[in-house]
Structure 1
Amino acid sequence: MNGTSSTDATGTPTPAAPASATSPPSPTAPSPWEDLVTTALLGTDRRPAAYGRSGREAPLALLDEAAMATVRRRAGLRPARAARRPEPAPEDPRPALPTAAARRLATLLTDRSGGGSGGRRGSSPDLMELLPQWLAAANAHGYAAPPQALPALLDAARGRTDLRPAALAFAGPRALWLARLNGDWRFALRAAPGGGATLPDPGDAEAVRRLWQEGLFAERAALLGALRAGTPAPARELLASTWATERAEDRLMFLDSLRTGLSAADEPFLEQALGDRSRNVRATAAELLSALPASALATRMAVRAAACVALDRTQSAPAIAVEPPLECDSGMERDGVVGTPPAGRGERSWWLGQLVESAPLGTWPGRLGGRTARDIVALPVTDGWQGELHAAWCRAAVRQRDARWSRALLGSPSAPEAGGPGAVSLADRAKLLAALEPAERADWVAGFIAAHGLSEAFQLLGVCAVPWAAPLGRSVVDALNIARDAGSYPWSFSGVMGLAERCLDPAQAVRLEGLLAMPDEREDAAPGAGGYWAEAFQRLMTTLRLRAQMTEELAPAIIERPSGGAPREGE
């Protein structure tokens, strides 16, 4: 009987077993594992009796009991159903990295000694800032990522969105394979066309039609983009086949894909989209049509804009007279003109700007006496309309990627305030520069820096091709040297220094050797500026030499044939 004595085989009474040994624990009593955890948290000196009876010290006894409890808990787990084994990782047919380049990649992905979240950085290169350039060079050579580097590469791309395009291109198909197995890397699937889904062959009309009609939005958008890049006409026809049944937000996204391969053949479809019930869709269709100078919409906009801008023949010297529209009629709204201006803008100036920026730039020479773009921009504009008119011409030049008008609106880089006659802000100048060839762009920015220094050059440097052309690189280094000698605050040039580390041609490193010494500090210089400048130039030179070494490591090795024949790339 429970709780009473009993007799053994000889009839000798035996004591009853404790109730806790035979009865299940009460629902409110803690489990043995919870009791162990509680004792560990409180300390065995506060609960010594429970684990001190074995003759061993209480802490050791507690650890022994915890070890046994762990084994019991694991043994009590029921085996789960075996999960489906993942498919093998896809093959990457690209050539493997050279050994030295693979070691460099591992260093760039793990070493953070050069970076810093604040304060002085010292003279060591910031290796993480060199990773984007390394990836671009590796992708240009067509190398495959080492399999063992993929986790660290994906972790780096997860933390920095600017790395993702180059990192995923370098990681190749195995990045998507890994992303399906690790939720931390799901961004790779979102960045891939169609969320990583396999798109049908463009030649398989039935598979294309089925995916377009039945696929998810991401898959359909990826399909449309892929088709548009190769065969624009079938992509447009596919979109037209379901246009009337698409949601407004989907129509807007699909319409944006027509920017790729935009041509006069798209005009009928875009003209139809001008009547869409969504204002955003209408505006996007109008923007695309205005980028086609021969389109009917561009012609209509040219007529409207020309009615507002003409030569002023009442003055002795040539000038431009502006008479903005009196109203925004339904035809203008259908062609993408937004009737309600933002806060602080007048209605008529708002409408004028939209008309001029949508009109082909070829409208103006004939309208303004046969003058060239440079001559037109140099004309005075009456009644204070010059800023509005030139700003609209800037937007038109950027949209139409017209180098002649961009050049005219930029003006001379040494002009007062470096604004040129039409570039009203640094952002405008940067956009206009993007329409020029890289060499001309670099020359203009070099002239700007030579005339005005580096204080406003950061945004302009960002649109220049990398590595910077020699004249631009010399101009930057000379301007930094001048700023140092003038006792300028060095911290205000840290952004340009960072750009130089990434963009300056490594061949410019030899010009920095004379700038490494500690300069004589002027009385009006910032305290400690000399040491900062010396560190910054040392870091710049070290970084340039490291970049040169990285380039050499990525270059394919050339191996002579044993027979003395023609050399070939390393195997």
Structure 2
Amino acid sequence: MTRTSAPVDAPATGAWEGLVTTALLGTDRRTPPGTGPGPDAPVALLDAAAVETVRRRAGLRPARAAERPQPAPKDPRPPLPQAAARRLAILLADRPGGSGGGRRGAAPDLTELLPQWLAAANARGFAPPPQLLPALLDAARGRTDLRPAALEFGGPRALWLARLNPDWRFALRSTPGGGAALPHLDDDAGIRQLWQEGLFAERVALLSALRSRDPAAARELLATTWATERAEDRLMFLDSLRAGLGPDDEPFLEQALADRSRNVRATAAELLSALPGSALAARMAVRAEACVAIDHMQPTRATTATAAPSTTGAATGPTMATPTITVEAPHECDPGMERDGVVAKAPAGRGERSWWFGQLVEAAPLGTWSRRLGGRTPREIVALPVTDDWQGELHAAWCRAAVRQRDAEWSRALLGEPSAPEAGGPGAVSLAERAKLLGTLGAAERAEWVAGFISTHGLSEAFQLLGVCAVPWAPPLGRAVVDALNIARDAGSYPWSFSGVMGLAERCLDPSEAGRLDALLAVPDEPENASPGAGGYWAEAFQRLVTTLRLRAAMTEELNTP
């Protein structure tokens, strides 16, 4: 039986949006144009949507003649090797979410390989095939994590296309300068004109580009208009000084400490505290030193074994003093502290004195403490007991200071040994803190520490730590991850709880490790009390891992082919 409905009138502007709204509200609350309430309303809505879809696909509506777009700019980079171009087309054709959830199967997840492929192609300086640019922009539109690498790879032609399609406007916003060409960094007049007349995104891009080449020139350019900028713009511009931050920036940042915006003042204070030789760092050191001291009067009783037998078997030795750190937190937050970036109001549930104390210690140069605490090394200082339950607050502040000041020696002391029972050292209060501390170490040392952590504690807490390790993982780290996965498989552990680590391994494990994994592809014997179906899942997951590693190796070879 054929159902007919009333003819659909020509749509007004925004007709598609109106139909979508009607569908969301329901035809019982809002009917399509030209249709009354009743059982025919849903059919009329679908008919109207079908007609409007055809109209939308038919092409552009008539409009006034406009100038033809300028030809696409040339891309001077060498073209991709043919095999690599075919691989890119395959990666872009894959779409996430096709499996509908559940088990992933043994096939590689191509969408997770695209970021790595783009990074490798950018490192080699290739230009994309023009016919793949629309698919590349569509992929970047749906995934913000892809945008920086995709737009770098897309180059000038991707921006040219983005100006012609409203769906790709994100490329103009995401690209420094909003897609506009920046003046040459030797063109003083062009730089001044863009700084005075450009859009905010263009000015941020100009300042960042100039800062990377000539930090002093960028700072001087910012100073010319600083007093007339909006507070939110001053904050963004000030943040650009993080790149190339040095002692020459101190006078400008000291002036920013008197800014009328609290956020600007806080950012200026943070940048100054990252310069251990700054006047602000010295002021913070004086304040922090007044709060922390060594007390030698905490007595302990030492025992020494006697040479001759006795009824007690030991003799009590003399009383000894154990050095102990004492803390006296500030009793007020004076105007000088506030000017130097200390936030006076504590967050909910936090004591004011501990809040002020943590900020002072965090901003003080870490070199302060060896001088203040008897010439001890960071490791010796961290090992000292702290009175009155102040240890957590003090060590957490030292953690933040080590990260801010990029101090590897203090980071090592606060991390402790990866095999320590508490698995994070005395100062790492969370996995996030440990990950930040690891970020101050070199790539090889970072990988070695995380490998030791996994060997001792397994993978249950290692996911966040793995995220800060360089890719591909160093051999010791890769072996530790594979061994831990194998142990979990043999123990009949619940396999889906390791899916995140397995996904990381697919992207980060060195492809040369594929050969070592062949022995893990068989379905293992499931021990008693194992999760039902765990053996099959583990075999499937390892098969996917091996296939992905070999695919990554092929991708690299294709990009290296002349």
For the pair 1:408 / 2:419, whether they are aligned, the reply is no
Of residues 508, 514, 525, the one that matches 1:509 is 514
CA contact (8 A) 1:144 1:172 kept: yes
Of residues 119, 127, 136, the one that matches 1:153 is 136
CA contact (8 A) 1:112 1:126 kept: no
Aligned to 1:306: 289
> CA separation of 1:79/1:116 partners in 2, compared to 1, >3 Å: closer, same or farther?
closer
Aligned to 1:239: 222
Aligned to 2:147: 164
Alpha-carbon separation, structure 1, partners of 2:9 and 2:379: 88
Give the share of equivalent positions with the same residue, in percent.
80
Give the TM-score, by structure 1 length: 0.83
> CA separation of 1:78/1:152 partners in 2, compared to 1, >3 Å: closer, same or farther?
closer
215-224 or 297-306, which deviates more: 215-224
Of residues 351, 356, 364, the one that matches 1:359 is 364
**Which letter maps to 1:347?**
E
Q: CA deviation at 1:81?
A: 4.1
Aligned to 1:252: 235
Aligned to 1:370: 375
Of residues 86, 94, 104, the one that matches 2:87 is 104
Of residues 458, 469, 476, the one that matches 2:474 is 469
**Which letter maps to 1:450?**
S
Q: CA deviation at 1:433?
A: 0.3
**Which letter maps to 1:142?**
G
Q: CA deviation at 1:477?
A: 0.4
Q: Within 5 Å, which residues of 2 pair with 1:97-496?
A: 97-112=80-95, 116-315=99-298, 316-496=321-501
Alpha-carbon separation, structure 2, partners of 1:380 and 1:125: 51
> CA separation of 1:350/1:156 partners in 2, compared to 1, >3 Å: closer, same or farther?
same
CA contact (8 A) 2:521 2:539 kept: yes
Q: CA deviation at 1:33?
A: 9.3
Partner secondary structure for residue 471 of structure 2 = coil
For the pair 1:85 / 2:90, whether they are aligned, the reply is no
**Which letter maps to 1:487?**
G
Of residues 506, 509, 534, the one that matches 2:539 is 534
Aligned to 1:548: 553
**Which letter maps to 1:475?**
A
Of residues 514, 526, 530, the one that matches 1:525 is 530
Alpha-carbon separation, structure 2, partners of 1:116 and 1:191: 31
1:445-494 CA-partner distances (Å, limit 9, x unpaired): 00000000000000000000000000000000000000011110000000
Give the TM-score, by structure 2 length: 0.85
> CA separation of 1:32/1:542 partners in 2, compared to 1, >3 Å: closer, same or farther?
closer
> CA separation of 1:192/1:463 partners in 2, compared to 1, >3 Å: closer, same or farther?
same
1:375-410 CA-partner distances (Å, limit 9, x unpaired): 111111111100000000000000000000001100
Alpha-carbon separation, structure 2, partners of 1:148 and 1:139: 18
Partner secondary structure for residue 287 of structure 1 = helix
Q: CA deviation at 1:417?
A: 2.5
Aligned to 2:312: none
Q: CA deviation at 1:79?
A: 7.5
Q: CA deviation at 1:210?
A: 2.0
Q: Which has the larger radius of gyration?
A: 1
CA root-mean-square deviation: 2.2
289-298 or 248-257, which deviates more: 248-257
> CA separation of 1:404/1:102 partners in 2, compared to 1, >3 Å: closer, same or farther?
same
Alpha-carbon separation, structure 1, partners of 2:334 and 2:103: 59
**Which letter maps to 1:320?**
I
> CA separation of 1:279/1:30 partners in 2, compared to 1, >3 Å: closer, same or farther?
closer
Q: CA deviation at 1:292?
A: 0.5
**Which letter maps to 1:197?**
A
Partner secondary structure for residue 416 of structure 1 = coil
Q: CA deviation at 1:329?
A: 0.2
Alpha-carbon separation, structure 1, partners of 2:7 and 2:109: 54
Alpha-carbon separation, structure 2, partners of 1:275 and 1:327: 20
Partner secondary structure for residue 321 of structure 1 = strand
Partner secondary structure for residue 293 of structure 1 = coil
Partner secondary structure for residue 326 of structure 2 = strand
Partner secondary structure for residue 479 of structure 1 = helix
Aligned to 1:46: none
CA contact (8 A) 1:114 1:124 kept: no
Unaligned runs of 5+ in 1: 1-28, 35-40, 43-69, 558-571
Q: CA deviation at 1:115?
A: 6.0
Q: CA deviation at 1:232?
A: 1.1
Alpha-carbon separation, structure 1, partners of 2:513 and 2:454: 17
Alpha-carbon separation, structure 1, partners of 2:98 and 2:404: 38
Alpha-carbon separation, structure 1, partners of 2:382 and 2:146: 41
> CA separation of 1:204/1:485 partners in 2, compared to 1, >3 Å: closer, same or farther?
same
Q: CA deviation at 1:530?
A: 0.8
CA contact (8 A) 2:96 2:111 kept: no
Alpha-carbon separation, structure 2, partners of 1:312 and 1:119: 60
Alpha-carbon separation, structure 2, partners of 1:187 and 1:298: 41
Alpha-carbon separation, structure 1, partners of 2:447 and 2:325: 32
487-496 or 318-327, which deviates more: 318-327
